[in-house]
Amino acid sequence: MIGSYWKPTEEILGYLDGRNKLVLMGCGGCATIFQTGGEPQVAEMARILSEHGKTILATITPPLGEFTCFVPHSKPYLEKHLDKLEQCDAILMLSCGDGLQVVRKVVEEDYGLMKAIVPGLDPVGHMGGGPTLFEEKCQQCGECLLGRYAGICPLTQCPKGLLNGPCGGSRNGKCEVNPDHDCAWVLIYERLKALGELDRMKGEPITKDYSKMTRPRSIDLSPVAVDTA
Ligand code: SF4
Ligand code: SF4
C-alpha cells in the first residue's frame, strides 16, 4: 500500500488560487486505509475548503476496496459525476499520485475535459504492516533478492543499501545512520544463523541489475483478461 499524509491546507489553497468550483475525489484503497482520502477525510476537506469560500460541486468517494488508481474501479464513479466535472474549475485529489494521474488521463482522454487537477496528499511510499504501524519494506527494485537475504531487504532496510555485507558501523545491533533501527545486516546474519544457512553469506558478491529500476516502468496485461470483480 502507498502511505500518505495530508498536505498543509495553505499549500492546497495555493494550488486552488483562482479556482473556486471544485470536485473532490478520494480513494477506497490505500488512502482510506491510511485515513487520508476516505469518506470522512473527503468530507472534512470539503468543509475546510467551503470555509475558505470554495464551492464544492461534488465529492467522489469510492468505498473501501475500490482503488482510484485502477481505471475499472474509478471510472464508474467519475462517470456518475460527469456533469460536475464539466462545470468545475479544478479537481482536488485525496489519493496518491498514481490515482491523481489515472483520473487526469481518464478525464482528459476519455471525456475530453481539460481540467486543473491538484494533489491534497503527500505520498510517502509503499508500506506494509498495520493495523496502526506501517513500515517501508520494499522499494520495488524489479529484481527481488530476498531469497538470498533471508527475507530481509538490505536495499530498503539498510540506509546505505549495502548488498554485500555490513558497513562496519553497527553498534549493539543498531544502525550507525539511525540508531533507532536494527542494522539490516545483523538481522540478516541472525536469521540466516537461525535457519542454519550462514553459508549463504559466503556466495558470490551480488551485482544488481539497476537497469530494472529505470523509470517509468509499465506492465501490459493485454491480451490477458482482467477479472475486476
Ligand atoms: S530486493 Fe528489496 S527492494 Fe527489491 S523487490 Fe525485493 S524487497 Fe523489494
Ligand atoms: S549499520 Fe547496518 S544498516 Fe546501518 S548503514 Fe551500516 S550496514 Fe547498513
Q: What is the pLDDT of residues 118-156, one digit of tens each?
A: 999 999 999 999 999 999 999 999 999 999 999 999 999
Q: Is 212 in the pocket of ligand 1 (CB under 6 A)?
A: no
The CA 209 to ligand 1 mean position distance, Å, reads: 12
As a whole number of angstroms, the longest Cα–Cα distance in the chain is 66
Mind spelling out the 3-state secondary structure of the chain? CEEEEECCHHHHHHHCCCCCEEEEECCCCHHHHCCCCCHHHHHHHHHHHHHCCCEEEEEECCCCCCCCCCHHHHHHHHHHCHHHHHHCCEEEECCCHHHHHHHHHHHHHHCCCCCEEEECEEEEEECEECCCCEECCCCCCCCCCCCCCCCCCHHHHCCCCCCCCCCCCCECCECCCCCCCECHHHHHHHHHHHHCCHHHHHCCCCCCCHHHHCCCCCCCCCCCCCCCC
Atom of ligand 2 nearest to the CA of 184: 3
Q: What is the pTM (predicted TM-score) of this model?
A: 0.90
Tens-place pLDDT, residues 159-218:
999 999 999 999 999 999 999 999 999 999 999 999 999 998 888 888 899 999 999 999
Residue 182 CB less than 6 A away from ligand 2 = no
Of all protein residues, the one whose alpha carbon is nearest to atom 7 of ligand 2 is: 166
Judge if the beta carbon of residue 175 lies within 6 A of ligand 2: yes
Q: For residue 77, is pLDDT > 70?
A: yes
